[in-house]
């Protein structure tokens, strides 16, 4: 995917594409800061790629050819538009106006699926540490998620609206409201409202809103997609179907699992994003950063992410530890069972999250775990009522419970997808807990409204509806293993890449699911 973006960048530089850069009609400027305002109409068109060029570029490299096998040959060309709109950010005193930007990818071409009334996909991206990230800029070689959704959805007839989120790119937001369900769903909805104003005014004006709205996203975006579906349903807005993928939906259960010692890969990135988001949204996570974080990191932790400094430089510069969320303390609280819970776990993957250069203080972790024991979540460590804790006292757990998505029942179809060995967002604690919640605690009107796919599960036979996604994922895993030389090295390579390897296969399955409607 990086190869595709790099090659498109080169072609733009050589002016070979049909259209690259500023060839949009003169834009009208709207100075209102009301939610959903489209600042420039039409938005700026960054690039235009026809179907043949897109197919050729994908097929010109090994990685692109692999992506092409998952997405299928492009049916449509794509116009990449870069729009700016107004939304809101959270604060302890209520919502505040904030600007944001988004990609508006519009299918083009002579094929019937490429113009006229088309479905809209509202897409939420995964966790980004790069503050300058912009899904609309297909000329950026690092924009792999933008390339994926362009090839998977826009090139197959979906109008794609993909916010960069408040706090990223040109946004004036003071921080990014990471996994804040209310703030992020408002951002998504406002981007959709703004994008609908652009349709009919862009150069690809013959491609219009066909009335079907699908919502999807991966990782953080999986959570945001589900939160947005919930918010739109609550506001009586039309949602045709959604496909949240590999998201931390059962947020309190997931947080408890991590603090109990099941430390996920990436935790030293996610924890500062969460702490900053909830502190600046609610004002009560800590009195001082040193309440939660070790002194070596506390001075610069608030607002550290997202950053214009590469994450590797932040780690090498001592701003963050690479893996060590908790200290490798040998606990002696006087309670043997509690000590065993807090000690470094035997699981070697989870043990990577412990060490002498830890991010989170022992005292903070102990307080969190004591609250989890006193006010247990109904899914972790044991499945009981599957509900978040009724009255947690720890303020971070309160924020997790407030933003936990075990609080709604869908009335439109939902397709959840992930992989059962995901070391970043645990499938069992999130996707399967949501599935169990909707099965046993709050079932929707029809069981058929919820579909779940584990791409790392066995193929049930030639009629398995997800045969291609499962088979493709298995082949990708085998290729990663072989490239690393198999054995322990292969296992390590598969683990490190697992979360991202799942993404294109879940996206392909989601597109197939949407095709039913």
Mean pLDDT, rounded, of the chain? 94
Q: Rounded mean pLDDT of 308-314?
A: 98
Which pLDDT does position 157 carry in this prediction? 98
pLDDT tens string 470-505:
999 999 999 999 999 999 999 999 999 999 999 999
pLDDT-derived band at 11, boundaries 50, 70, 90: very low
pLDDT-derived band at 24, boundaries 50, 70, 90: low
Which pLDDT does position 25 carry in this prediction? 67
Please give the radius of gyration of the chain, using alpha carbons only, rounded to the nearest integer. 22
Is the pLDDT assigned to residue 22 strictly greater than 80?
Answer: no
**514: closest CA among 222, 215, 228, 220?**
215
DSSP assignment letter at 307: B
What is the spatial distance between Cα 58 and Cα 75, in angstroms, rounded to a whole number?
Answer: 13
pLDDT-derived band at 58, boundaries 50, 70, 90: confident
Q: How many other CB atoms are found less than 10 A from the CB of residue 59?
A: 14
Q: Rounded mean pLDDT of 145-166?
A: 97
pLDDT tens string 434-463:
999 999 999 999 999 999 999 999 999 999
Q: Helix, strand, or coil here: 490? A: helix
What is the spatial distance between Cα 301 and Cα 514, in angstroms, rounded to a whole number?
Answer: 41
Which pLDDT does position 12 carry in this prediction? 37
Is the pLDDT assigned to residue 10 strictly greater than 80?
Answer: no
Structure tokens at 452: 């779940």
What is the spatial distance between Cα 81 and Cα 103, in angstroms, rounded to a whole number?
Answer: 6
Half-sphere exposure of 482 (CA within 13 A, CB side): 6
Structure tokens at 290: 């040193």
Q: Rounded mean pLDDT of 278-296?
A: 98
**407: closest CA among 174, 247, 220, 251?**
251
What is the percent of the chain with per-residue pLDDT over 90, rounded to a whole number?
A: 92
Q: Rounded mean pLDDT of 96-106?
A: 98
Q: Rounded mean pLDDT of 249-266?
A: 98
Counted residue by residue, the chain has a size of 517
DSSP assignment letter at 440: I
Structure tokens at 331: 């606990």
Q: Rounded mean pLDDT of 271-298?
A: 98
Which pLDDT does position 420 carry in this prediction? 98
Q: How far is CA 37 from CA 74, 98, 174, 204, in A?
A: 32, 11, 19, 21
DSSP per-residue string spanning 272-291:
HHHHHHHHHHHS-S-SSGGG
| 87-99 core/surface letters (b: 16 or more CB in 10 A; e: else) | bbbbbeeeeeebb
> Hey, what domains does the chain have and what are their CATH numbers?
2-239 (3.40.50.1820), 251-403 (no CATH)
Asked which of 47-61, 150-164, 192-206 is least confident by mean pLDDT, the reply is 47-61
pLDDT tens string 201-231:
999 999 999 999 999 999 999 999 999 999 9
Is the pLDDT assigned to residue 63 strictly greater than 90?
Answer: no
What is the spatial distance between Cα 106 and Cα 48, in angstroms, rounded to a whole number?
Answer: 9
pLDDT-derived band at 23, boundaries 50, 70, 90: low
What is the percent of the chain with per-residue pLDDT over 70, rounded to a whole number?
A: 95
pLDDT tens string 368-421:
999 999 999 999 999 999 999 999 999 999 999 999 999 999 999 999 999 999
What is the spatial distance between Cα 236 and Cα 285, in angstroms, rounded to a whole number?
Answer: 33
Composition of the chain by helix, strand, coil, percent to 5: 40, 15, 40
Helix ranges (H only) for 343-486 are 348-351, 362-374, 395-403, 431-436, 467-483
Quote the pTM value.
Answer: 0.96
């Amino acid at each position: 995917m990086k190869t595709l973006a790099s090659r498109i960048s080169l072609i733009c530089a050589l002016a070979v594409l049909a259209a690259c850069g500023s060839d949009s009609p003169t834009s009208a400027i709207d100075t209102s800061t009301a939610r959903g305002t489209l600042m420039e109409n039409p938005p700026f068109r960054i690039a235009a790629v026809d179907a043949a060029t897109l197919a050729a570029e994908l097929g010109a490299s090994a990685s692109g050819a692999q992506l092409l096998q998952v997405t299928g040959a492009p049916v449509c060309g794509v116009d990449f538009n870069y729009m700016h709109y107004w939304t809101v950010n959270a604060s302890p005193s209520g919502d505040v106006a904030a600007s944001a930007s988004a990609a508006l990818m519009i299918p083009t071409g002579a094929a019937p699926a490429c113009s006229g009334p088309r479905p809209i996909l509202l897409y939420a991206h995964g966790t980004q540490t790069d503050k300058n990230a912009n899904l609309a800029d297909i000329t950026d070689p690092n924009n792999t998620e933008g390339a994926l959704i362009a090839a998977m959805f826009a090139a197959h007839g979906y109008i794609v609206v993909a916010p960069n989120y408040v706090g990223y790119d040109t946004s004036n937001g003071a921080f990014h409201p990471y996994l804040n369900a209310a703030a992020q769903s408002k951002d998504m909805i406002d981007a959709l409202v703004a994008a609908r104003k652009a349709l009919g005014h862009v150069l690809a004006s013959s491609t219009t809103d066909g009335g079907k709205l699908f919502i999807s996203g991966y990782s953080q975006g999986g959570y945001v997609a589900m939160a947005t579906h919930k918010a739109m349903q609550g506001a009586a807005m039309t949602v045709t179907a959604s496909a949240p993928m590999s998201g931390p939906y059962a947020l309190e259960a997931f947080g408890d699992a991590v603090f109990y010692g099941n430390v996920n890969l990436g935790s030293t990135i996610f924890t500062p994003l969460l702490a900053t988001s909830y502190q600046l949204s609610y004002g009560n996570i800590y009195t001082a950063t040193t309440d939660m974080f070790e002194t070596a990191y506390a001075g610069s932790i608030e607002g550290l992410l997202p950053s214009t400094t590469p994450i590797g430089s932040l780690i090498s510069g001592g701003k963050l530890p690479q893996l060590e969320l908790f200290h490798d303390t040998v606990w002696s609280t006087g309670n043997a069972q509690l000590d065993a819970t807090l000690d470094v776990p035997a699981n070697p993957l989870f043990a990577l999250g412990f060490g002498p250069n830890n991010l989170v203080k022992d005292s903070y972790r102990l307080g969190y775990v004591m609250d989890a024991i006193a006010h247990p979540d109904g899914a972790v460590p044991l499945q009981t009522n599957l509900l978040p804790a009724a009255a947690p006292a720890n303020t971070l757990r309160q924020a997790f419970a407030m933003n936990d998505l075990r609080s709604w029942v869908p009335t439109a179809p939902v397709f959840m997808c992930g992989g059962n060995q995901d070391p970043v967002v645990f499938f069992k604690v999130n996707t399967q807990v949501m599935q169990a919640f909707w099965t046993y605690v709050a079932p929707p009107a029809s069981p058929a409204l919820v579909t779940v796919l584990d791409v790392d599960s066995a193929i049930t036979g030639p009629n398995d509806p997800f045969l291609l996604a499962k088979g493709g994922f298995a082949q990708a895993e085998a290729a990663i293993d072989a490239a690393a030389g198999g054995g322990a090295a292969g296992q390590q390579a598969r683990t490190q890449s697992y979360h991202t390897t799942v993404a294109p296969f879940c996206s392909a399955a989601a597109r197939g699911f949407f095709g039913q409607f």
